Structure 1
Amino acid sequence: MIRSKVKAEHVTEVEAAARRVFAALQQAQPDGIRYSSCRLSDGVTYMALLELDEGVENPLPSLPEFREFQENLKNWMAEPPIPEQLTVVGSYRFF
């Protein structure tokens, strides 16, 4: 999981770029990946969740849309992102 706070004036750009990443994923249909992005209630903090099946290499860096998103994040961020490792205790059709 990565939690990121962006500058309020860039929320529209962040969300448009995220939609392009998800559209590219939808088109590519890579196996073994679950990926989600959510905006929190403050309107400027986002949480991205990524799970990869064992032995599956992360396909995100191979997508031009994701690389563009990552490059632009440098200017959109209000503070450094906070990566956290999660341990799934229970899940119903989420992971």
Structure 2
Amino acid sequence: MRRTLIRYKTKPEAAERNAELVRAVFAELQAARPDGVRYLTLRLDDDSFVHVVETAADDGTSPIPKLKAFQQFQNGIRDRCLEPPAPRGAAVVGNYRMLNET
């Protein structure tokens, strides 16, 4: 299992469009229901976004990049950002009812 945290900050005028694109990714995930992946996105008050991705594969491969909605989200992401996406590996230090542990 591998966890990745991606953080970036959007331009104020692009934040809502970014959120719409993210919601479309989650809608497609709900419809496709792929195994081996868990995904959470938070929007912070300053229009930063934080994505947490957990994949069952040790190498971090995920079905998410294959989704049409994700490809649309990726298109132009850097143009929407003040601070570009910065992926980092992440480990859970503490968890109380937020994440399912298996």
> What amino acid is the match of 1:49?
V
| Whole-angstrom CA distance in 2 between matches of 1:11 and 1:89 | 30
Residue in 1 that maps onto 2:51: 48
**4+ aligned runs moved over 4 Å, structure 1:** none
Residue in 2 that maps onto 1:94: 99
* 3-state secondary structure, aligned to 1:74: helix
Task: Considering fraction of residues, name the structure with more strand.
Answer: 2
Unaligned runs of 5+ in 1: none
* TM-score when normalising by structure 2: 0.83
Residue in 1 that maps onto 2:11: 7
Give 1:39 shift: 0.8
Unaligned runs of 5+ in 2: none
Residue in 1 that maps onto 2:62: 58
Residue in 2 that maps onto 1:38: 42
Task: Considering fraction of residues, name the structure with more helix.
Answer: 1
Instruction: Provide the alpha-carbon RMSD of the alignment.
Output: 1.6
Residues 77-86 or 61-70, more deviating: 77-86
Give 1:4 shift: 0.6
| Whole-angstrom CA distance in 1 between matches of 2:87 and 2:41 | 14
Change in CA separation of 1:88 and 1:35 when aligned onto 2, cut-off 3 Å: same
* 3-state secondary structure, aligned to 1:88: coil
Number of aligned pairs?
A: 94
Deviations 1:28-54 (A, max 9, x none): 000111101101132x10100000113
